[in-house]
Structure 1
Amino acid sequence: MRVAIAGAGAVGRSIAAELLENGHEVLLIDKSPAAIAVEQVPQAEWLLADACEITSLDEAALQRCNVVIAATGDDKVNLVVSLLGKTEYGVPRVVARVNNPKNEWLFNESWGVDVAVSTPRLMSALVEEAVSVGDLVRLLRFSQGDANLVELTLPPESALAGTRVGDVRWPEDTSLVTIIRGSRVLTPGPDDSLEEGDELLFVAAQAREGQLEELLSVRREPEPPRREDDEEADEL
């Protein structure tokens, strides 16, 4: 897979090193000569150019890329790179870094973004995921289809504890993709059962998140009916 990364700062270089280690072909693009640190990621291709200019992207042969990652520290640049990559070069997958959470609403398919990665939101979600049991935590937003990657740790006394996955009527536009149980990562099948403490990862439409959280909530026992003598005692 060929990946172009706009922004050769610490973030861009780290992504490049990881992708290269996994066997992918990587091109790093940056307009700052100070950012061209070939010795730090020698296996990558490097291009000193402005990724917001068509001539630069032509030189980068962006049409040959499977993925474009807009990883600069400037949200305006990341949006322009995303839009050009998607509309001018037809790149199948565009991933963009969100630096300012206030700008996150812009990073959608209208600007050519398939996946928006907000570092503050991601860190906040990971903190919530580590301490929350029984609450739905949104980990990642996908622009296409208005879907999110969400997590919920099945609490004690959940209504679904002990239930087969295949017997659960999940909300529409919701898919259980992984069960993390202790040190194990399970691909859920219909005969697998849910257990207390399971960390469940779903891809779900945003409109279905409330239904999903309610389905997985703690079982609440109905209050016993009040007896006549109890009512008389209250009156006394």
Structure 2
Amino acid sequence: VFFNRIPMVRQVLNDLNHDTAQIKVRAAFSMMLIFVVLAEILGAEVILGAFLAGAVISLLGRPEDEDLSHQLESIGFGFFIPIFFIMVGVDFNLQALLESTEALILVPFLVLAAFAVKMLPVLFFKLNFTWRETIGAGALLSARLSLIIAASAIGLRLGVISDAVNAGIILVAILTVTLAPMLFSRIVPETPIIQNRPIVVAGAGMIGLQVAEQLIAHGEDVVLLDPIPERVERAAERGLEAFSANIKSLTPEIEDVLNRAKAMVCVHGTTEYNYRVCEIARTVYGIDHVVSRVPDPGAIARFEQIGVTTMNAAIDQAVLLALMARNLMAYDLLTRPDDDKDVCEVTVYNSRYLNKPLRQMKLPGDMLIVAVSRGGELVVPHGDTRLTAGDKVTLLGKSDCLEIARQLM
């Protein structure tokens, strides 16, 4: 431990930890062998020596040594552990088990005990999960293999248990790892795969391509629609998912996209065509969130009457410039795709997050609820704020955490 804290020694170890030398992996194996031999000399179990070696490696480890842990896991799970189970199978004395009435009677009791000791503690899960999920979790956690087999092997070596009991314990392990997943599948129904809900960009001109690339940079699924085949081909050449679509005759494939869409951005060049597209999106396909570019400021009220959020370059350019002047950090946060922070809006429906103070919610990772929209009114959240079904919350945090929260809520 002392030498490991010397910067020069750490630097030498890091320099030697390249593809051919792998000095840290070699040192880990050397330490394991030393402790295994020491355990044998002292009359202790070899597994105890290996455990102590792992504890020392963990003690000496630094955050930059994470690759060493992955390398040791690969070697262990890929080589040593399979050999251990092969030897367990070789030593499995089924004949001794069949000849022992006591061991055969013991097997069903051990199976019941294996499930009971997991079912009782998981009752606390009922505080946050349904009865099906709670019982299913208890069944799945009842699967046990390596630990009890290792303990049984040690007991057999020490003469504490007989060959018949050892075989019975191995059979219990096999039964639990076989039955537990089957019970879980029967108790907890399979969750249907939720298809990704894309954002549809209507218009594959230069503005549409830029909008699509910005959305993709923020982790969104995007589908481009345009009636002009040349624009669709150009979008496809840039790696974007694009379809040729005419609002007068939509194919079943396009209708499926529109039925799944969570939002639409309409960026065609003419105000009238944009209005027709937005009207179909809102009234026929029920897309709640539709944003449209409106070149003619006089037509904005017409779009707003059908529930479309409008964007006019002449008006909104001034708003964006004022935002940059007043809150440059907020503008960067909303527009920059080159970092792992983002802002997103989520509509809350999950009952686990309803009617509960925000301070009691366990949100995934680094994330904050910065605003709540309820019935068109903006609510500034605090610790005692309780969410209701249909509330739209604005989340700020890391992109991966936001995606988890979006699925949970």
TM (norm. structure 2) is: 0.30
Contact 2:204 2:235 survives alignment (8 Å): no
3-state SS, counterpart of residue 27 of structure 1:
strand
Deviation of 1:99 after TM superposition, in Å, equals 1.1
Other-structure match for 2:261: 65
Other-structure match for 1:2: 198
Higher relative contact order (CA closer than 8 Å, sequence separation 6+): 1
**Once the two structures are aligned, what percentage of the paired residues are identical?**
25
Higher share in strand: 1
Matches within 5 A, 1:132-143: none
Aligned mate of 2:278, from 82, 90, 108 = 82
Verify: 1:32 aligned to 2:228, yes or no: yes
Measured against aligned partners, the alpha-carbon deviations of 1:16-63 in whole angstroms (never above 9, x if no partner) come to 111112222111111112322135530x2211122x22x326431211
Contact 1:66 1:91 survives alignment (8 Å): yes
Q: What CA distance in whole angstroms lies between the structure 2 residues aligned with 1:77 and 1:128?
A: 30
3-state SS, counterpart of residue 250 of structure 2:
helix
**Number of equivalenced pairs:** 136
Query: One-letter code of the match for 1:93?
Result: H
3-state SS, counterpart of residue 68 of structure 1:
strand
Q: Name which one, 1 or 2, has greater alpha-carbon Rg.
A: 2
Query: One-letter code of the match for 1:19?
Result: L
Query: One-letter code of the match for 1:71?
Result: V
Measured against aligned partners, the alpha-carbon deviations of 1:159-210 in whole angstroms (never above 9, x if no partner) come to xxxxxxxxxxxxxx87486xxxxxxxxxx869xxxxxxxxxxxxxxxxxxxx
Contact 1:70 1:96 survives alignment (8 Å): yes
Deviation of 1:112 after TM superposition, in Å, equals 4.1
Contact 2:236 2:242 survives alignment (8 Å): no
Other-structure match for 1:226: none
Aligned mate of 2:211, from 2, 5, 15 = 15
Q: What CA distance in whole angstroms lies between the structure 2 residues aligned with 1:58 and 1:8?
A: 20
Deviation of 1:7 after TM superposition, in Å, equals 0.4
3-state SS, counterpart of residue 77 of structure 1:
helix
Contact 1:17 1:41 survives alignment (8 Å): no
Measured against aligned partners, the alpha-carbon deviations of 1:120-174 in whole angstroms (never above 9, x if no partner) come to 1111223455678xxxxxxxxxxxxxxxxxxxxxxxxxxxxxxxxxxxxxxxx87
Kindly report the root-mean-square deviation, in angstroms, between the aligned alpha carbons of the 2 structures: 2.7
Deviation of 1:94 after TM superposition, in Å, equals 0.9
Contact 1:2 1:26 survives alignment (8 Å): yes
Contact 1:79 1:111 survives alignment (8 Å): no
